[in-house]
A and B are shown apart, each in its own frame.
Chain A
């Protein structure tokens, strides 16, 4: 309960958006399905906060996908990964 592992493909990570308060994570992935970087914050994708993963150049990879994940199993929150840039 509480985790939304939906993957929305995008090339630019801004942040997730959500409808509540919980620990949430933004993740960068590669085309082979592996994940190379993530940042997780309290309300990281919620109404009152956002997480930002920075440019892919910082991590030495060209990521092709990102997803949001609610990592707080006791605080359900609906998450959505929005692509804000092409």
Chain B
């Protein structure tokens, strides 16, 4: 079955680093590896945050990223920097989920719960990238990452606008029991400068 293709445009960050450079993220200065595009996610550049406690899951997603890089190198995230994988949030939701993220060399951010996830660029969609995960025991949760400029994330599900947890650049919202992911109509993102953007999801 073939449908008409929807046209779209995805911007690609293209900040090339000429060599090793110091980058200030919040109060933290970190070294950026040669050829690596920095991401606007302070938590991934913060050495005070411990490495992920779920390295196997991060590596599982990184394996998928590697296949993605092989299949479509021109539009893939690039090399996964799993050595810096970090747990942004933990102990959330019905299953006490852990949200883990890592950057890629091309400046994308990959994120997962139970190894389920994807990678996104934070210069599109209002500075957030997110996914919806459903499991039998854990129900449906919306989760992802937000750029440093994001101050608030709200989820419009079933006509109710509720705040998502937003901490360490991680965002998470457990949908109420019985509410399916397809009830999520939009995600409202408020930047620190007061700008508000709505990301359409369903409906």
Chain A interface (Cβ < 8 Å from any Cβ of B): 1-2, 4, 6, 14-15, 17, 19-23, 25, 36-44, 47-55, 58-61, 71-72, 75-78, 84
Residues of B with C-beta under 8 A to A21: 6, 8, 10
Complexed CA–CA distance, A3 and B2 (Å): 10
Question: Does B15 lie at the interface of the complex (its beta carbon under 8 Å from any beta carbon of A)?
Answer: no
Known: A38-B134, A39-B131, A39-B133. A49 touches B118 (CB 8 A): yes
Complexed CA–CA distance, A17 and B134 (Å): 20
Interface of B, helix, strand, loop or mixed by DSSP: mixed
Chain B interface (Cβ < 8 Å from any Cβ of A): 1-6, 8, 10, 57, 60-61, 64-65, 67-68, 71-72, 75, 112, 114-120, 125, 129-137, 181-182, 199, 201-202
Number of A-B residue pairs having CB atoms within 8 Å of each other in the complex: 120
A54 B118 Cβ-Cβ under 8 A: no
A51 B118 Cβ-Cβ under 8 A: yes
Complexed CA–CA distance, A17 and B112 (Å): 19
Known: A54-B112, A78-B3. A36 touches B68 (CB 8 A): no
Complexed CA–CA distance, A50 and B5 (Å): 17
